[in-house]
Structures are given as structure tokens and as C-alpha cells.
Amino acid sequence: MEWLWQHFAECPITRNIILLVGVLYLLRLMVWLLLSLWSGTKAFFLAGLFKVDLKSYGWAVVTGASDGIGKEYAIQLAKRGVNVVLVARSVEKLRAVEKEILDQSNVAVRIVIADFSRTDIYDGINSQLSGTEIGILINNVGVSLEHPDYFLSVSEERLWQLINVNMSSTVMMTKMVMPGMVERKKGIIVNVSSASALNPSPLLGVYAATKIFMDYFSSALRYEYSDKGIIVQSVLPFFVATKLSGIRRSSFTAPNPKKYVCDALATIGVQSKTFGTLSHALQAVPFSILPDWLITKVTFRLLSNVRRAAIRRKQKKQ
């Protein structure tokens, strides 16, 4: 190492090159910080100035509308005067959501029963949506693993559920309703991805891959159809206090669905890719600064601990 230091000390060209690289990196970091600050300010503090009139778009279709984030999207869209179609597999839960919406809002509500783990459901959904002017699509339905686990430990059935529910549903529902939006030159498509899309997430590898699929799909659609009047947004939440996450008590870092969706709706038309709420945007900062290998390594360790704890709990119950 001594000869390397001596060479560096005696060679001004090397010093200048390294200095230039450092300055360019710092400039890039400063530009990223300024753009991120402006984007966050617009989305979370000035959103009212850029508010989109959601009611003017027509009906909204919300998949996975029986619980959590999907349910809250349906409720809050209805509060903004938007007629909603609730899509999920549990008729009892959907009826309960329908009643809750009708008790709070003066809108029309329709129910479509569909199990998105199947691939033979889309003709039936299409026939039930026929003739309805759909201007908003919330692709929210999703499924994860019971707990983090190694790839070969996950059943084939569960793998197909992850693929069909998380990816196929987004593609096929978009294919179904988007032609009407393009014809009217007006529409909103919101794809609820996950912060898991920010890194490979070992032990949740397939789940994370389905979520990066949704994010990339959103970006591609945005470039293809933005000039047709279509707003395409990718939403990447961290933890929200829902049944899917297993978090029962909300907090600043894990808000309840009502808080999260209220903030996320305000970002439509402001951010094409959003973490939905301020606390989640702050949690995303390390993913933009730290190297991928470090994030992935830390994620692997954290999820390994979660996996061991879940296995212990399961063994105690047996």
C-alpha cells in the first residue's frame, strides 16, 4: 500500500482524476437530493395545489377491495364522489365494505366476485363490467408468503398464487379497462406495488420479483400512454398496519390504511412513482444512497430472523 500512496502523492494527474470523480459524485448526489426534496414537497405538502378531480374520470374499479389498502382506496374514492366497483373473492367481506361505503357516501357501488389466483376469471369480470365507463383502476390485490422462506421450501401452488394474484391480475385488468380510457383520452391506473421492489429481498424473492414487475410495468405503460391522457402511478408502500403485514398497531412508520391511502391519493398526478406517505418516503432514502449489496445483505439477515421467529411460533402451536 505504501507504493500506491507514494504514486498518488507524486502524480497530480491521478489526484485530479480522483478529485474530479469525487466532485461529480457529490454534484450528482446534490441534484438527486434537490429533486427528491422538491418531489416530496409537492406530494406531501403542496398536493392541494395539484389536486386531480377524481370524480370527473368515471367509475373506479378496485381489486382486493375487501381488506386493508384496497378497501380504503374504495372508501376514500367514494367519499370523493366516485362510483366504485369492488372486486375480491369474499362476498361477505365485499357486502360489508359496500354497506360501509353506502352509509358514508352518496355513490353507486357494485360487487364483482373473483378469485385472482385463477386464470379463467377474466371473461366473467369483463362481462360484468361491460357498459360501465371505467376511468380509474386500482390494481391492489396481492398475496405474500405466510412468512419469509427459502425458495425451494415454497410450494408450487403458492408460487402460482404469487404469480397469478400479483402479476397476472394487474396485466389482465389493465388490458380489460384501458381501451375505454384511451378512447376517451382520460384515465388513471394505480398499481399498488411494494417497497420490496427496491431490492431483491432474499427469502421473499418471488414476492419481491412480482412487485418489481408491477413497478416496471407501470413505467412502461406511462411512457406508452401518457400522451393519450392516461395517468399511470406505481405505489410502493413499506409496512402498513393491515392483516397482510401482520401489524396490528399503527405508528408513524407503519400508518393505518386510512392515513396511508389518504396521502397516496393526493399524490395522483403529482408523482408517477410514489411511496404514498411521508414516513415511507423517508424510509426509502437509504435505498437510494447505500449500495445494493449492503441493503440486500441486511434484508437477508432481518428476514432470516423473522423466518426463525415464525417457525418457532408455529412449532409451539403444534
Query: Quick check: 60 and 85 in contact, CB under 8 A?
Result: yes
The enclosing H or E element of 128 equals helix 122-129
Amino acid 35: pLDDT: 64
Amino acid 215: pLDDT: 96
- Across the strands, what pairs with 112? 87
- Among residues 207, 216, 223, 260, which one is catalytic? 207
Amino acid 10: pLDDT: 57
27 grid coordinates: 454534484
The single-letter code of the amino acid at 299 is T
Amino acid 30: pLDDT: 72
Amino acid 218: pLDDT: 97
Amino acid 173: pLDDT: 98
In CATH, what class is 55-317?
alpha beta
Q: How far apart are CA 264 and CA 267, in angstroms?
A: 5
242 phi and psi angles, rounded to 5 deg = -135, 175
Q: How far apart are CA 203 and CA 153, in angstroms?
A: 10
User: Is residue 122 annotated as a catalytic residue, yes or no?
Assistant: no
pLDDT tens string 7-31: 555 566 655 666 666 666 677 667 6
Residue ranges of the chain with per-residue pLDDT less than 50: 4
Amino acid 75: pLDDT: 97
143 grid coordinates: 398475496
Domain range list for the chain:
55-317
Amino acid 68: pLDDT: 93
